[in-house]
Amino acid sequence: MIEVSDPNEIAALARDPNLDRRFETPTCPVNWLLLKRSLKVLSFRGHRFPTMMPRDDAQRTSNQQDLWNLLGEKVASIKTGSDELEPLADWVRGIGPDVQLGILVQQLLGQLFSSKFMATEASWDAAKVLVAAPRLNNLPLMMWWFVSGKVRRAKRLLAGMVNEDLSAVNAIGIAVHNVVKSLRQMRVLYANVQTRSGLSAEAAAEQCLFAPASVYRQATAAGQLGDCPYSRHSLFVLSIGEAARHAEGRSLVFMEDSWSRCPANLWIPAMLQGVWNRASVFSQFHDEKLSG
């Protein structure tokens, strides 16, 4: 297993044609366990989530483009702070408890895929199970989650809310946690009156972007990373969460220069700008009223 957190090395590996998400499990025991666990959690009824699909899968590529197009059409309006962002703008202003945020974000993402989507405490709990399961270090707990059907039930609940569209399950079960982190950060920025008045919406959104902690790749053939040779089936853990904190790592937040580019790479920053705009308009109005 090779863990990489240097932004330039990750960018080079993302371009390496030997590295893919085919994920063949006959490999060494540790890699086998890590891959098996992720594939088990991030699959539903025998189909992998899009984030676990190989590069040359035609259906994956076409779904990725379709979702990018769908979200792209919404970018201009959401950036202005459309009405659907009011609950999140309220939360950023400091209204509402911390526990409410997950449900609000899940609602916003779920509505992209189904107009009937209604996030609940149960669907938010399911999302927490889904994101934690591939990373559980506590082996007995991990076994219990699988044996008792906790992970299966979580996926069934989420998939049932979005017509079993696995891009949508990824959004409301996994990506939702990154967006929650963004809005937590935005609430902190907003709470400081000086920071609030000095930041443009664009700058605020940029300061609130966080990459997923890591993504997996596996070598389909032997190759070389710098001076380090790697063998077929080597597992690469690309620590984009850490790498994206460097100035030159911005494109890794959404793996923007890679075949695996996130389809929400423009929509998420636009949505965050929208929330900031909406929250700030209220604060200006409020400040003006106070000053008479």
Q: What gap in Å lies between CA 134 and CA 241, rounded to an integer?
A: 16
Sign of the torsion angle spanned by Cα atoms 243, 247, 248, 253: positive
**For ligand HEM, the closer CB: 145 or 244:** 244
Instruction: Collapse the DSSP code of 6 into the 3-class scheme (helix H, G, I; strand E, B; otherwise coil) and give the result.
Output: coil
C-beta of 145 vs 210, nearer to ligand HEM: 210
Comparison of 11 and 145: residue with beta carbon closer to ligand HEM: 11
Least distance to ligand HEM, CB of residue 176, Å: 7
Q: Which is nearer to ligand HEM, 63 or 100 (CB)?
A: 63
Asked if residue 53 lies in contact with residue 47, where contact means CB atoms within 8 angstroms, the answer is no
Is residue 77 within 8 Å of 112, Cβ to Cβ?
Answer: no
CB of 200 to ligand HEM, least distance (A): 19
Please return the burial class of 235, using the count of CB atoms within 10 Å of its CB with bins 0-12, 13-18 and 19+.
Answer: buried
Q: What b/e string do you get for 203-234 counting C-beta neighbours within 10 Å, with b at 16 or more?
A: ebbebbbbbbebbbbbbbeebebeeeebeebb
Minimum gap (Å) between residue 88 Cβ and ligand HEM? 13
CB of 240 to ligand HEM, least distance (A): 6
Let me know: does 21 contact 35? Beta carbons within 8 Å.
Answer: no
Q: Which is nearer to ligand HEM, 21 or 145 (CB)?
A: 21
Q: Which two tokens stand for residue 257?
A: 């220069």
From the number of C-beta atoms within 10 Å of its C-beta (0-12, 13-18, 19+), residue 176 rates as buried
Q: Closest distance between ligand HEM and the C-beta of residue 48, in Å? A: 10
Q: Would you say 59 or 148 has its CB closer to ligand HEM? A: 59
Would you say 4 and 12 are in contact if contact means Cβ atoms under 8 Å apart? no
Tell me the C-alpha distance between 259 and 58, whole Å: 12
Closest distance to ligand HEM from the beta carbon of 278 (Å): 18
The Cα–Cα gap between 173 and 110 comes to: 10
Binding site for ligand HEM (CB under 6 A): 50-51, 60, 64, 67, 109, 112, 167, 170-171, 175, 178-179, 182, 211-212, 215, 240, 253-255, 258, 260, 262-264, 268
For residue 261, the minimal CB distance to ligand HEM (Å) is 7
CB of 112 to ligand HEM, least distance (A): 6
Q: Kindly tell me which of 50 and 81 has the beta carbon lying closer to ligand HEM.
A: 50
Contact 261, 61 (CB under 8 A): no
Position of minimal CB gap to ligand HEM: 262
Nearer to ligand HEM, 133 or 179 (CB): 179
Identify the DSSP state of 90: H
The SS3 of residue 238 is strand
